Amino acid sequence: MMTAQRNDRLKVAVIFGGLSSEHDVSVLTALEALEALDPAKYEGFPVYVGLDGQWWTGDALRDRRNYLPDQSLKRQLTRLALTVGNSREGGQWVLREVGAGMFKKPKTFAFDVVLPALHGTWGEDGTLQGVLAAEGIPFAGGGVGAMSLTINKMWTLGAAAAAGLPVPPSMLVGRHEDVDAKIAQWKGSYPVFVKPNFLGSSIGARMARDEDDLRAALAEVFRLDIAAVVQRCVPNLVEYNVAVRRTPEGKVVTSAIERPIRKGESYSFTEKYLSQGVESKLSGASAGLVGATRAMNPPELDAKREAQIRGWATALFEAVDLAGTPRLDFLCDGATGEIWFNEINPLPGSFGYFLWEGAAEPTGYTQLLDDMLTEARTAMRRRARVIDPVANGGAIFRKRGV
């Protein structure tokens, strides 16, 4: 016998896709999240942002087989827009139908909170968060400042160093800079690791063994991004990742620690998302997001180094004012045990739920999303400010009619 759904459930707009090289990964994250939301508390619906920037919704977007949508499929969907400056109707935020026709009232899709599932630029760099914040819309994950900082790997290294975390020697090279002059400035040894400054998922990242190889690696990055980070390679490299979040009670906690198992010199996009490891427990999901080869809570990590990683991750989480379930990545010299901070993924694939299932106090995916959405609504209330030039001492013009 089917149980009737409550009509007071919160409506969650899950926004995904986007103008990013991580578009496809975002689709997988969103489909998993839509399936994992607690149906007794939430009514989630998909809001897909295509590679052309258009927004769409419709039940067909819940099926992985329908990606990427073609023109035929889009006839089953509704094109949407968030009307900045007029996003509320009837006491709720709404997305409005685009192109309904002159004699037809546009459909509206009401929602209470947004779950951003967009990886990479536009969705993970503070752009979407800025639009939502300007409209007063609650959204899960990091705020505008935290997201715009962490998308910039070089800025993040600076923030980590300021918070007392050890970071490897690194150099930023812009696409329009004199590459030879920048290479001459590099005082470190080779090999070096080269990666895009504003992209994630290991796209465009690789090792360079000498100056000529570095020039070639930079040229590859500049096809994808406007800047590259050159970083000293850690010898005997072992990588450790841990996620951090704040519970509804306000306590900052850390997840299980994972050690990615690399087949090559670095953990590639293919290994992350296209490996055929453990199948996802959610139907229709990619095996890669949760099945990429990894060791959870690796036994070789002694108590001292584990405490270092967890302590540093917690300190940076609070220093940068992160939210949601960001993952912080560390580099370790397996021979000496020395550890350096590497980067932050503020919105990891599948929100890193498998790290929380393996935590000391396990949290399932459904509960994790519930906590994120609770945090989103609490954060919006906490950030509310009095907008009144008179009360705030900034008045120049007298209010008319007063």
| Predicted confidence (pLDDT) at residue 3 exceeds the cutoff of 70 | no
Q: What is the spatial distance between Cα 329 and Cα 340, in angstroms, rounded to a whole number?
A: 9
Q: How confident is the model at residue 398 (pLDDT cuts 50, 70, 90)?
A: confident
Question: Are 118 and 16 within 8 A, CB to CB?
Answer: yes
Q: Which CATH superfamily is domain 150-166+235-379 in?
A: ATP-grasp fold, B domain (3.30.470.20)
Which residues lie across from 114 on neighbouring strands? Answer: 13, 139
Tokens representing 282 are 């959610």
pLDDT at residue 273 in the model: 46
Residues 6+ apart with CB under 8 A from 252: 244, 245, 246, 314, 317, 318
* Topology of the domain covering 10-139: Rossmann fold (3.40.50)
Tokens representing 226 are 């406007």
| Predicted confidence (pLDDT) at residue 193 exceeds the cutoff of 80 | yes
66: left (phi over 0), alpha (psi -120 to 50) or beta: alpha
- DSSP H or E run through 202: none
The overall longest dimension of the chain from CA atoms, in Å, is: 74
Question: Are 277 and 287 within 8 A, CB to CB?
Answer: yes
- DSSP assignment of 52-109 equals TS-EEE-GGGG-GGG-S--HHHHTTSEEEE--TT--EETTEEEEEES---TTSPPPEE
Q: What is the pLDDT of residues 31-68, one digit of tens each?
A: 999 999 999 999 999 999 999 999 999 999 999 999 99
Q: How confident is the model at residue 2 (pLDDT cuts 50, 70, 90)?
A: very low
Same fold, 150-166+235-379 and 170-232: no
Per-domain residue ranges of the chain = 10-139, 150-166+235-379, 170-232
pLDDT at residue 180 in the model: 95
Q: How confident is the model at residue 201 (pLDDT cuts 50, 70, 90)?
A: low
Helix ranges, 199-348 (H): 211-222, 269-273, 287-291, 303-319
For the purposes of burial, counting CB atoms within 10 Å of the CB of 241, is it exposed (0-12), middle (13-18) or buried (19 or more)?
A: buried
Q: What is the spatial distance between Cα 59 and Cα 46, in angstroms, rounded to a whole number?
A: 8
Q: What is the pLDDT of residues 271-314, one digit of tens each?
A: 554 444 433 334 333 344 444 578 899 999 999 999 999 999 99
* Topology of the domain covering 170-232: Dna Ligase; domain 1 (3.30.1490)
Q: What is the pLDDT of residues 318-335, one digit of tens each?
A: 999 999 999 999 999 999
Q: How confident is the model at residue 266 (pLDDT cuts 50, 70, 90)?
A: low
Tokens representing 209 are 């063994």
Q: How confident is the model at residue 199 (pLDDT cuts 50, 70, 90)?
A: confident
Q: Quote the pTM value.
A: 0.88
